Amino acid sequence: MQHFLIQALNGVQLSMLVFLLAVGLTLIFGLMNILNLAHGAFFTMGAYFGLVVANKTGSFWLALLIGPLLPFVAGFVLQFFILQPLAQRGRSTHLDLALLTFGLLFATAGAVEYIYGSAFHSIATPDMLRGRIALLGIEYPLYRLFIIAVGIAIALALVLVIDRTLIGATLRAGVDNREMVTALGININVLFALVFGFGSALAGFAGVVSAPVMSIYSNMGIGIVVTTFVVVVVGGLGNLKGSFYASLIVGMTDTFAQAFLPEAELFAVYALLIVVMIFRPQGLFGAVGRVA
């Protein structure tokens, strides 16, 4: 029972990390119809930049705050100066842009390898969050609970912003009818670039947050990003709530599979993907039954 509870909490913790990545990806896709295959690069970027900050200042919290800024800027620049102009010139369909980000994936994998080599790094857990806490008959690391809390908090904040605020309404309107929103005097390009930056920053944030429990290394983005892709497809591309629930499902599946069937590794996750695709190709929460 204790073992089960620990695994369940680990599962939720992993789910929250994956959610932070998935939400950026799916937000960007839902609003701009761009699939950023290099999304994992922002995860890596945030972690490394956070590492630099942590090493310079010795503060985890500063790393958490400042780390995501680099991916934010990178994402903004990518969308505003590269993806947007290409899309507007009509040269590239959404598929083209996805392929472009695939090239970016190669490039960033190479760049990170070049700059940092293949050594493993880490950021120390902040003092305030060290140690374990007694919970429901077990002792669970406080930091992991922190990750869970952060994930849920961000999920709630996002739902509030997207559904209830003017910015959220503007974004939703911008996806539906870009020209109309521009005609209303809103600079949709800047808005989209900001959202892209924000989604990337979330990934970077996840990178810093994950650092105390996972290692920082040049390929760290790749492993978690494939899980993220599965989450995003299972949840329904573009569906925010879907990605939350899917993160939970996938995170739990992965954790329990690893705990009880260590040989299976990612197979459980892929098996889940296959089953979902057979019965609901649009994702568990995606728009219902398009014929074509």
Partner 1 sequence: MSTEVTCRQSEPRAALKLLPIPVSRRACGIPLVLLAAGLCALPSVVSGYAMTLAVEVMIAGVFASGINLLTGYTGLVSLGQAMFLGLGGYGIAIGTALLGWPLWVSAPVTLVVVAASATVIGAICTRTRGVEFLLITLAFSQMFYGAAIKLRWTNGSDGMTGIPRPDLSLLGVSADSPATFYYYVLAVSVLALLLLWRIVNSPFGSILVGIRENERRMMSMGYAVANYKIGSFALAAIVCAVAGILQSQYTYFVGPDSMSWQMSGEGVLMVIIGGANVIFGPFAGAAIFVVVKQALSLITDEYNLFFGIFFMLVVAFFRGGVLGAINTLIGKLR
Partner 2 sequence: MSALEIRNLRKAFGGLQVISDLDLKVPSGQRHAVIGPNGAGKTTLFNIITGWQPPTSGEILIQGIPVQQGRPDLVTRGGLSRSFQKNMLLESVTVLENLRVACQAFHASRHSVFRSCRSFSDVVRKAHDVAEQMHLDNVLHRNVNELSYGQKRQLEVAIALCAEPKILLMDEPAAGTSPDERANLIKLINGLSSELTILLVEHDMDVVFAICDVITVLSYGKVLTTGTKVEIQSNPQVIEAYLGQHHA
Residues forming contacts to partner 1 in the complex (CB under 8 A) are 29-31, 33, 35, 37, 86, 91-96, 98-100, 102-111, 113-114, 162, 172, 175, 226, 229-230, 232-233, 237-240, 263, 265-267, 270, 273-274, 277-278, 281-283, 286-287, 290-292
Q: Residue 204 touches which of partner 2, partner 1, none (CB < 5 to 8 A by kind)?
A: none
> Contact between 291 and partner 2 (CB under 8 A)?
yes
Q: Residue 125 touches which of partner 2, partner 1, none (CB < 5 to 8 A by kind)?
A: none
> Contact between 137 and partner 2 (CB under 8 A)?
no
From the CB of 56, what's the least distance to partner 1, in Å? 26
From the CB of 145, what's the least distance to partner 1, in Å? 30
Which is closer to partner 1, CB of 64 or CB of 78?
Answer: 78
Decide if 255 contacts 10 (C-beta within 8 A). Answer: yes
DSSP of 39-83, one letter per residue? HHHHHHHHHHHHHHHHHHH--HHHHHHHTTHHHHHHHHHIIIIII
Q: How many residues of this chain interact with partner 2, rule: CB under 8 A? A: 3
> Contact between 289 and partner 2 (CB under 8 A)?
yes
Binding segment for partner 2 (CB under 8 A), chosen from 13-21, 131-139, 141-149, 284-292, is 284-292
Tell me which residues touch partner 2 (CB under 8 A).
289, 291-292
